[in-house]
Amino acid sequence: MPEPDNTFAAANGLLHRRVFLKTGVAAVGLLTAQVAAGTRDPWMKEPGAALGESGAPSDHESHVVRTGIGSQPGTTGSGASRTPLEFLDGIVTPSRLHFERHHSGIPDIDPARHRLVIHGLVDRPLSFDVESLDRYPRASRIQFLECSGNSGSATAPVAAADATCSSIHGLVSGSEWGGVPLAVLLDEAGVKPKASWVVAGGADAAMMSRSIPLAKIMDDAIVALYQNGERLRPANGYPMRLFLPGWEGNASVKWLRSLTVTDQPAMTKDETSKYSDLMHDGKAKLFTFPMGVKSVITSPSPGLAMAGSGVYQISGIAWSGAGSVRRVEVSADGGNTWAESALDAHVLPKSLTRFRSAWRWDGKPAVIMSRAIDETGAVQPTRVAALAGLANFYHHNGMQAWQVGADGGVTNVYV
């Protein structure tokens, strides 16, 4: 016999995942009274703004911008900016809010002069401009992109930082990526039998480059030309970039200009001095590309205060570089008990997945957190377990806990 919709599924007020929030009766009554009285708000009394060439967010949403924008000392374009996760919903990040990570600024590339060259261990070296790539078969998929340094501040050993969701976890975004499958281009070039790696090079001033296993290139890699239905924006690789679903963002080289097919990795500066995982024994792991299963509650979170006891929606995102998210569980008592969360309809492989839970908050202090399980059975680890083997901040996928105070304020906390 199915559980009734108001069944508590875990301690401290978490309701069954079938529960959905309902509109407040008072608000509906007030709106009905206004309509019945013929009340007209000021914006209903005169024509609105004229048409424009492109849309823009409402002025009332001016606070929804990328956060944590900063360049490394001595530079103007080497740094990162973060997606404001706490103000978004669904699984697709607007292009203007997609996180950015640059190593030497954003190049202003003339697409008419830009070329992608495929050479090395191939039968036929090839060169492509944007127009020629537009003639090839294309694919589009909604998938996440995450910097391997995302959530790095959660590895600080002393105390939890006074920080927002976006400032800790905002180096992840979801987009519809469209482009040419690289397997098509390499099949045309003719890969030689001893080939096993591809070195991807970018056209920025840093000449960013990464070594990628040939197996990944032939599996699901694309030369991305579009993001969310429009041409790539300069900050995300215009006119073309490499996109490797589920793998650390740094390997998806932007402003792609070369693919050199080789029989071994190049051991470039960007995969040795950086983007390698230092272990406690002093050794380092290289080429740890896939991003682990992960989730974070985006609302409520720091900066989104709760207004007294009552039923609230706990919402967040989950993702995994290994495939689809199969289950997300939420706790409102610091991880002592868990309840399964409802997943939105679009559960896609290597994509952000939106989860939601109904929580009857009693107005007392609480600690909320989430954990994700992917299709391989991998379970998001606790923060302590995630830090057990690593001595750096890359690839951190430990659980995030938020402390809800009696006043409704939300803060970052370690459990």
CATH number at residue 313: 2.60.40.650
Same domain, 266 and 372: no
What pLDDT, on the 0 to 100 scale, is given for residue 372? Answer: 98
Asked whether 198 and 259 are in contact (CB, 8 A), the reply is yes
Output the pTM of the full model. Answer: 0.92
Last residue of a domain, one of 220, 246, 277: 277
Same domain, 197 and 303: no
User: What's the chain's Rg over C-alpha atoms?
Assistant: 24
> How many angstroms separate the CA atoms of 105 and 204, rounded?
7
Same domain, 321 and 234: no
Same domain, 272 and 311: no
Same domain, 392 and 264: no
What pLDDT, on the 0 to 100 scale, is given for residue 59? Answer: 92
Last residue of a domain, one of 224, 246, 277: 277
Name the amino acid, one letter, at 400: Q
Classify residue 36: in a domain, yes or no.
no
Q: Which residue, among 246, 228, 235, 15, has the nearest Cα to 140 in the 3D structure?
A: 228
Cα distances (angstroms) measured from residue 326 to each of 19, 265, 289, 333 = 19, 34, 21, 23
Residue 303: give the domain boundaries: 294-413
Asked whether 133 and 225 are in contact (CB, 8 A), the reply is yes
Cα distances (angstroms) measured from residue 402 to each of 49, 161, 267 = 41, 11, 40
Q: Count, in order, helices (H) and strands (E) of the chain.
A: 6, 24
What's the token pair of residue 300?
Answer: 């409520």
Asked whether 14 and 6 are in contact (CB, 8 A), the reply is no
Torsion, Cα of 166, 93, 350, 149 (10° steps): -30
Last residue of a domain, one of 243, 277, 311: 277
> How many angstroms separate the CA atoms of 113 and 405, rounded?
57
Classify residue 214: in a domain, yes or no.
yes
Classify residue 66: in a domain, yes or no.
no
Classify residue 155: in a domain, yes or no.
yes
Beta-strand pair 339-340/401-404: unpaired
What pLDDT, on the 0 to 100 scale, is given for residue 87? Answer: 97
Same domain, 266 and 327: no
Q: Which residue, among 246, 244, 224, has the nearest Cα to 130 in the 3D structure?
A: 224
Classify residue 57: in a domain, yes or no.
no
Name the amino acid, one letter, at 397: N
- Residue spans of the chain under pLDDT 70: 1-6, 19-37
Classify residue 211: in a domain, yes or no.
yes
Asked whether 415 and 403 are in contact (CB, 8 A), the reply is no
Asked whether 318 and 370 are in contact (CB, 8 A), the reply is yes
CA–chain centroid gap for 264, Å, is: 30
Neighbours of 263 (CB within 10 A): 13
> How many angstroms separate the CA atoms of 168 and 82, rounded?
9
**Core vs surface per residue 69-79: b (16+ CB within 10 A) or e:** eeeeeeeebbb
Backbone angles phi, psi at 295, to 5 degrees: -155, 160
Same domain, 272 and 309: no
What pLDDT, on the 0 to 100 scale, is given for residue 76? Answer: 75
Instruction: Tell me the DSSP string of 211-260.
Output: EEEHHHHHHT-EEEEEETTEEPPGGGTTT-EEE-TTBBGGGS-SSEEEEE
Same domain, 201 and 348: no
Classify residue 33: in a domain, yes or no.
no
Classify residue 87: in a domain, yes or no.
no
What's the token pair of residue 285?
Answer: 């792991």
Number of folded domains that form the chain: 2
Asked whether 231 and 213 are in contact (CB, 8 A), the reply is no
Asked whether 107 and 203 are in contact (CB, 8 A), the reply is yes
Same domain, 268 and 324: no
What pLDDT, on the 0 to 100 scale, is given for residue 25? Answer: 41
Same domain, 131 and 269: yes
CATH code, 230: 3.90.420.10
Same domain, 246 and 324: no
Same domain, 271 and 122: yes
What's the token pair of residue 169?
Answer: 């976890």
